[in-house]
Structure 1
Amino acid sequence: MTYCVGMRLNAGLVFLSDSRTNAGVDQVGTFRKLSVFEIPGDRMMVMMTAGNLSISQSIRQMVSELKTDAGHSIWNAPNMYEAARILGEAVRQVHQRDAEALSSFGIEFNVSIIFGGQIKGERCRLFQIYSAGNFIESHDENTYFQIGEAKYGKPIIDRVVSPATSLDDAAKCALISMDSTLRSNVSVGLPLDMLVYEADKLAVTHFVTIDERNEYFQMIRSTWGHQLKSVFEGLDAPVWNAAPETAGNVLHSANTSSKPVRVAPPGSVAVPKVTRAPLQTLSQQFYDGQQ
């Protein structure tokens, strides 16, 4: 599997991908999933892929050579929308060539792509392209795309990133998002490729390959985990069955009626008659003692 995230900001673009393709007990595969199409001073475009590696590598080769009937290629497309259309056509051509053969071996045609960049004369743009070659574009309401194992790293991005976020803060957020994914899913792994592009430069601004020896990423991993634990421990424990005026942070007040759905035992089961006492926590016992 994989995890890739791309962010479109007022200041530019941030791309981050892992490099794991297999995570079996005795077979761990590593292939780079971030590719750059660049003509300095004219265009800078980035493609990140998730899904079947052979399909994504075929698409990368196809799109680098493909020309439309109008003579457009990814190297001379007049705008990013046209470049995304060319990439979508490359996906469809690889599907037409390989999908049936793959299907006969029980292999699904599976690929997801994040594609973004800037062509001279227009702003930075970001797209997500699907297995059918169709795509959507990022706007201010949705400033980022994820592919692969997206769920673990999504919450931090939703809370932090907006179009006004700086490139450095977005890069930091992307790395925290990746760390959360690495911690929770063995199918995502180091090394990472990170590319940060400053708007209107029309060439790669910053690029780094991050492995387990990278000092900044190790600092992110240790500090973020420690700070999360500190914040968690600083939150009050829930208070049960209390009058609202007794304490703050009441999870369940005494005048609230809440009952679980209980499944009745069959008649053959002897059920002793007991009186259920209200459940209490140490916090509740403490507040009761203060009355």
Structure 2
Amino acid sequence: MTYCVGMMLDKGLVLMSDTRTNSGVDNISVFRKMHHWSVPGERIIALMTAGNLATTQSVISLLEERTKTPEEREPSILRAPTMFQVANIVGDLLAETIRKSQQSNDHMSGGPKFTASIILAGQIAGMEPRLFLIYPEGNFIEASEDTPFFQIGETKYGRPIILRAYNRTMEFGDAAKLLMVSMDSTLAANLSVGMPLDLLVLEKDRFVPTHEQRIHASDEFFQAISKGWSEALRSAFNELPPYALDTDRQKD
């Protein structure tokens, strides 16, 4: 399983992903799910993947191959005129990869189902930063004022945290902290999501990563966030008014 989050701010974009992949409790591996490409001063493009590992690695490899000599290998995400066109390229490639993989396994009774989803983020010079959620079928939706962040993978545990605390005007550091809390809540609830985490901050109009970090379980700041959040929850719970059971009410 996976947990990835992409968030839009007034200042730019913040992305975080875990790195755990597993096919059973005794077969756990670490694979990077966040990737980015940039042309300094002109564009930066990042994506995070969830789903069948062979499918997502194939998509990443094909995108990477096309960036080597983009003028000769079309369509390339480094030559697309808009982020919308980048989303089309990635969506088409994802859908085609899934289709080919599924066709080659259709003869297998009970064979694996190939599926994946992608969060795409980035900016091209002269345009605003944009954030997309790309579905296995290749179609996609774009983040907006009403939907300013996207999640893929194991989303349910970390979503309430973001909904309660997100503010589009927040600083990058606060956004990173919020995503760490969201990720920590997911880690505590689902063993299929695991450390280390990858964090990427993309400041508007900069076109190179503003901040990039791999966060390991031993990271002191993340440990402080995890411990502090647990203690804050317990403290908040203890401060809530007590609930009187019927037996207690009858005594009054």
TM-score (norm 2): 0.92
1:152 counterpart SS class: coil
Q: Deviations over 1:23-61 (max 9, x none)?
A: 633221111100111111111111100000000011112
1:13 counterpart SS class: strand
Q: Which moved more, 1:74-83 or 1:96-105?
A: 96-105
- Distance of 2:91 and 2:33 partners within structure 1: 17
- Distance of 1:89 and 1:13 partners within structure 2: 24
8 Å CA contact 1:195, 1:208 repeated in 2 = yes
1:204 counterpart SS class: coil
8 Å CA contact 1:112, 1:147 repeated in 2 = yes
Counterpart position of 1:79: 82
The answer as to 2:247 corresponding to 1:280 is yes
The answer as to 2:125 corresponding to 1:125 is no
Q: Deviations over 1:165-188 (max 9, x none)?
A: 222111111000000000000000
Counterpart position of 2:113: 108
Q: Whose helix proportion is higher, 1 or 2?
A: 2
Shift of 1:94: 1.0
Distance 1:159-1:96 versus aligned 2 partners, 3 A rule: same
Counterpart position of 1:24: 24
1:99 counterpart SS class: helix
Instruction: For 1:177-256, list aligned pairs within 5 A.
Output: 177-239=182-244
Query: Which blocks of at least 5 consecutive residues in structure 2 are unaligned?
Result: none
1:227 counterpart SS class: helix
2:29 counterpart SS class: strand
Q: Which moved more, 1:84-93 or 1:214-223?
A: 84-93
Count, aligned residues: 246
Counterpart position of 1:141: 146
Q: Among residues 89, 92, 109, which one is paired with 2:92 in the alignment?
A: 89
Shift of 1:98: 1.6
Counterpart position of 1:33: 33
Shift of 1:195: 0.5
8 Å CA contact 1:23, 1:29 repeated in 2 = no
Distance 1:28-1:97 versus aligned 2 partners, 3 A rule: same
- Distance of 2:94 and 2:222 partners within structure 1: 34
- Distance of 1:153 and 1:52 partners within structure 2: 22
The answer as to 2:119 corresponding to 1:152 is no
Distance 1:285-1:235 versus aligned 2 partners, 3 A rule: farther
TM-score (norm 1): 0.80
Shift of 1:89: 1.3
Higher RCO, 1 vs 2 (CA within 8 Å, ≥6 residues apart): 2
- Distance of 2:158 and 2:170 partners within structure 1: 17
Larger radius of gyration: 1
Shift of 1:163: 2.0
Counterpart position of 1:49: 49
Q: Deviations over 1:71-113 (max 9, x none)?
A: 5420111111111111011112212322212343411121010
- Distance of 1:97 and 1:132 partners within structure 2: 13
Q: Which moved more, 1:151-160 or 1:84-93?
A: 84-93
- Distance of 1:84 and 1:146 partners within structure 2: 16
Identical counterparts, % of pairs: 44
- Which AA in structure 2 matches 1:238? Y
Q: Deviations over 1:97-142 (max 9, x none)?
A: 2221234341112101000011111011000001011000000111
8 Å CA contact 1:128, 1:135 repeated in 2 = yes
1:150 counterpart SS class: coil
